């Protein structure tokens, strides 16, 4: 995810030498330097020394250690902190840093890797308007951004768009397999499934009609689409996806409690 952010910023015209990255894995640093010609460091404090904006792109279980490591630098420079570590609340990050700081919590998703991501953002009360703009600029480099009014909504973002690509991948798997059962080759079923998903998403994004209207426009009375949709309704697809997202939401809340109490 950090690499996708760096690539998106550079593609948008951001000065690559203004970007500093820290990682304990030397091979990753070498790869990032060769790809983007950015400044690299083997410890977070050194990378953070002159930063106005710090992006904490680490696994949730590693965030406490990183926050503790950079706490002194944060106290001196007072940058805005952007965390993309899933499930860690801003209050816990502030506690590990040892003070009240400007913290933005972000929930991106994996399509950010191809600059087609969706990111939910939440800013705590210490984030200025300028810092909100800076945070949005960084995350917008990988796709669209949406601000949340309260932090609990980030768990809903996690359930919907954060985990969402996996739901669609699973649906695509099933459609491809069903196409093969109807006699299509694997390659044909695969490419038709992917192009259909891409086309449907693009049409929905660019149309002035809502999704229900678009569905209805494809559904001729007594036709093939109507029969297929009937099966989905018989299996109560709305209730199924409500249960799917609720399970992901509940798990996000649970993990926030577990990781934040460490």
Tens-place pLDDT, residues 104-129: 999 999 999 889 999 999 999 999 99
Does 177 score more than 80 pLDDT? yes
- Domain endpoint, select from 150, 185, 219: 150
Mean per-residue pLDDT over the chain, rounded: 94
For residues 144 and 213, state if they share a domain.
no
Dihedral of alpha carbons 156, 160, 166, 171, sign: positive
Q: How many C-alpha atoms does 137 have within 13 Å on its Cβ side? A: 13
Judged against a pLDDT cut of 70, whether residue 86 lies above it is answered with yes
Please identify, among 122, 150, 178, the residue that sits at the C-terminal boundary of a domain: 150
**Distance, CA of 41 to chain centre:** 25
Do 225 and 98 lie in one domain? The reply is: no
Q: Which residues pair with 55 in a beta bridge?
A: 82
Residue 222 domain boundaries: 164-256
Residue 155 lies in a domain: no
Do 170 and 248 share a domain, yes or no? yes
- 9 plus 135 within the same structural domain: yes
Name the pTM for this structure. 0.90
177 falls within a domain: yes
Confidence of residue 27 (pLDDT cuts 50, 70, 90): very high
- Mean pLDDT for the stretch of residues 73-85: 94
pLDDT score recorded for residue 1:
85
Give the pLDDT score at 262: 64
- Last residue of one domain, picked from the residues 87, 122, 150: 150
CB 163 within 8 A of CB 248: yes
Q: Which residue has the tokens 């977070």?
A: 44
- Residue 259 has what pLDDT? 81
pLDDT in tens, 134-148: 999 999 999 999 999
Domains of the chain: total: 2
Distance of alpha carbon 7 from alpha carbon 12, whole angstroms: 9
């Amino acid at each position: 995810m950090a690499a996708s952010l760096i690539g998106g910023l550079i593609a948008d015209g951001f000065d690559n030498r203004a970007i500093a990255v820290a990682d304990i894995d030397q091979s990753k640093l070498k790869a990032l330097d060769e790809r983007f010609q950015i400044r690299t460091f083997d410890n977070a404090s050194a990378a953070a020394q002159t930063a106005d904006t710090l992006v904490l792109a680490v696994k949730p279980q590693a965030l406490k250690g990183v926050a503790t490591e950079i706490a002194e630098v944060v106290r001196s420079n007072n940058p805005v902190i952007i965390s993309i570590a899933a499930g860690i609340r801003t209050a816990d990050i502030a506690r590990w840093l040892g003070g009240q700081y400007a913290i933005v919590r972000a929930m991106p998703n994996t399509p950010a890797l191809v600059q087609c991501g969706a990111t939910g953002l939440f800013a705590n009360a210490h984030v200025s308007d300028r810092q909100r703009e800076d945070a949005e600029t960084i995350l917008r480099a990988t796709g669209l951004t949406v601000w949340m009014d309260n932090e609990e909504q980030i768990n809903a973002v996690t359930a919907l768009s954060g985990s969402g690509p996996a739901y669609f991948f699973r649906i695509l798997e099933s459609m491809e397999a069903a196409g093969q059962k109807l006699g299509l080759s694997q390659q044909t079923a695969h490419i038709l499934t992917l192009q259909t998903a891409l086309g449907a998403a693009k049409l929905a994004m660019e149309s002035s009609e809502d999704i229900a209207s678009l569905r209805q426009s494809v559904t001729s009375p007594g036709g093939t689409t109507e029969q297929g949709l009937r099966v989905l309704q018989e299996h109560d697809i709305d209730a199924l996806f409500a249960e799917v997202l609720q399970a992901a939401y509940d798990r996000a809340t649970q993990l926030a409690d577990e990781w934040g109490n460490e």
